[in-house]
Amino acid sequence: MWGGRFAAGPSAIMREINASIPFDKALWRQDIAASKAHVAMLGAQGIVSADDAALIADGLDKVAAEYEANGVPEDWDLEDIHMTTESRLAELIGAAAGRLHTARSRNDQVATDFRLWVRDACEQADAGLQALQVALVMRAGEHADSIMPGFTHLQTAQPVTLGHHLMAYYEMIGRDRSRFADARARMNRCPLGAAALAGTGFPIDRFRTAEALGFDGPTDNSLDSVSDRDFALDYLMAAAQCSLHLSRLAEEFIIWASQPFGFVTLPDSLSTGSSIMPQKKNPDAAELVRGHSGRIAGCLTALMITMKGLPLAYSKDMQDDKPPVFEAAGLLALSIAAMTGMVAKAAFRTPRMRAAAELGYATATDLADWLVRQANIPFREAHHITGSAVKLAESRGVALDQLPLADLKAIDTRIDERVYAALSVEASVAARASHGGTAPVEVRKRVAEARVALGLED
């Protein structure tokens, strides 16, 4: 491949460190597509003959069929997917195969292939996340009235509904989808035709190849086209943030499935047992999702450090751009699928959730709010009065609404019997009907809006 420039071939070490075919063979579909677009343009521009262009296109289809049937062969002497394909094409059609590389370099070729692959990865992530959103919305609709404790610092804070809790993740996943969409929109410019770094002297039509490959247009600077991988970093940043959301959701299920909580029974299909303790049902799928988030963040860091400080244009360091992206995409797809199944198939133990919501004085804020509304007491004073009531109830081991009225009046005479209507968990969640609040009526509104957004309603 290097022609007459070198007197001797590469050493075994150089051969091994230089070869990328073990991982960049994943780009074969994109490489075939980009090559077909390129040769069609060369033929249309008269740079290669129509007969050669047709012969090359037919040969590329034959190579693609072989790859589809048998996989991509790994000949390390050919280094990468680009030379592997060109070599096989030459075996099939002869010398005409050499015309395919006219007016392009492996630099713009790999930049194009990789963009196409990452673009597909954005679309695949979006489709998976949409399915997760559907699962969240369906379960939220079932549990718009199901009361559970809401937490801050993992301490009981205020009652919320399970539907409201699940819809919080619907919102997070929606933002994740928007990040993948933004990344896809930014990367949708075609580097093909930038050649090695300076463009080409052949009369190519870069707009034609860009359109053929579904890009919005060609990139506008040949140096930038072959030297940057910010499109891959955009994908990894979106993937890393998404994995953090998935990890948080996984952690919720891990905690909820533990015996002290007992809020949920996980599906058998996403759980494992113990080799020694027959009673165990371990949330391994959720734990692996939690673990994958660290690996995906590591993939982002790896590519960021690889790209740091590289001078223009192409450097061989950039060959290491693909493994972290491929790894992250695989892990993310598994994580999304696991959490979609978890949400869809988990059995929520709502009586247990409601009982837990009644513990920990979750309606204390409702007492303070009642004092503000009904007794016209400044909130800070109401907060102090409520704290005294909680202390008394705690000392007696009872809930706030179990304290006798006489005891509440002893704390503050402005409290009357109407307060008890505000101290139930049902009253607490119903009262929070502000936009985006946990009240069942608000949860149903958000679920209805989400169903329309997801195309679940006509």
CA–chain centroid gap for 217, Å, is 27
Whether the pLDDT of residue 401 is over 90: the answer is no
- Kindly state the tokens that stand for 75: 């000949």
Per residue in 267-316, pLDDT (tens digit) is 988 888 777 776 778 889 999 999 999 999 999 999 999 999 999 999 99
Per residue in 315-324, pLDDT (tens digit) is 999 999 999 9
pLDDT score recorded for residue 13: 82
Whether the pLDDT of residue 442 is over 90: the answer is yes
- Helix axes 50-70 and 28-44, enclosed angle (nearest 10): 170
Per residue in 69-104, pLDDT (tens digit) is 999 999 988 999 999 999 999 999 999 999 999 999
Whether the pLDDT of residue 403 is over 60: the answer is yes
Q: What percent of the chain has pLDDT over 90?
A: 78
pTM exceeding the 0.85 threshold for the entire prediction = yes
Comparing 177 with 12, the larger pLDDT belongs to 177
> 243: helix, coil or strand?
helix
Indicate the helix (H) or strand (E) that contains 147. Answer: strand 147-152
Pairwise CA distance, residues 104 & 85, whole Å: 15
Mean pLDDT of the region 244-259 = 96
pLDDT score recorded for residue 10: 65
Would you place residue 363 in the very low, low, confident or very high pLDDT band (cuts 50, 70, 90)?
A: confident
Closest CA to 384 of 373, 394, 372, 374: 372
Mean pLDDT of the region 40-61 = 98
Query: What is the CB neighbour count within 10 angstroms for residue 410?
Result: 14
Whether the pLDDT of residue 3 is over 60: the answer is no
pLDDT score recorded for residue 7: 56
Pairwise CA distance, residues 56 & 319, whole Å: 27
**What distance, in Å, lies between the first and last C-alpha atoms of the chain?**
58
The number of CA neighbours under 13 Å toward the Cβ of 118 is 35
Would you place residue 124 in the very low, low, confident or very high pLDDT band (cuts 50, 70, 90)?
A: very high
Whether the pLDDT of residue 1 is over 60: the answer is no
Whether the pLDDT of residue 239 is over 90: the answer is yes
Whether the pLDDT of residue 8 is over 80: the answer is no
Whether the pLDDT of residue 6 is over 80: the answer is no
- Which single residue is written with the structure tokens 């007969």? 51
Query: What is the CB neighbour count within 10 angstroms for residue 337?
Result: 16
Would you place residue 5 in the very low, low, confident or very high pLDDT band (cuts 50, 70, 90)?
A: low
Measured on CA atoms in the order 255, 256, 261, 264, is the torsion positive or negative?
A: negative
Per residue in 205-218, pLDDT (tens digit) is 999 999 999 999 99
pLDDT score recorded for residue 352: 96
Would you place residue 143 in the very low, low, confident or very high pLDDT band (cuts 50, 70, 90)?
A: very high
β 155-161/147-152 pair status: antiparallel
Average predicted confidence (pLDDT) for the chain: 93
Pairwise CA distance, residues 250 & 243, whole Å: 10
Whether the pLDDT of residue 65 is over 90: the answer is yes
Indicate the helix (H) or strand (E) that contains 84. Answer: helix 81-93
β 155-161/264-265 pair status: unpaired
Pairwise CA distance, residues 178 & 166, whole Å: 19
Mean pLDDT of the region 180-193 = 98
Comparing 245 with 393, the larger pLDDT belongs to 245
Contact 93, 39 (CB under 8 A): no
Would you place residue 9 in the very low, low, confident or very high pLDDT band (cuts 50, 70, 90)?
A: low
Query: What amino acid positions are annotated as catalytic residues?
Result: 153, 274
For residue 221, CA distances in Å to 130, 188, 415 come to 35, 14, 73
pLDDT score recorded for residue 171: 98
- What are the beta bridge partners of residue 272? 282
pLDDT score recorded for residue 230: 97
Whether the pLDDT of residue 200 is over 70: the answer is yes
Q: Who contacts 129 (Cβ-Cβ below 8 Å, separation ≥6)?
A: 173, 176, 177, 180, 242, 336
Mean pLDDT of the region 134-152 = 97
pLDDT score recorded for residue 282: 87
- Which single residue is written with the structure tokens 């000949």? 75
Pairwise CA distance, residues 279 & 339, whole Å: 24
Contact 328, 296 (CB under 8 A): yes
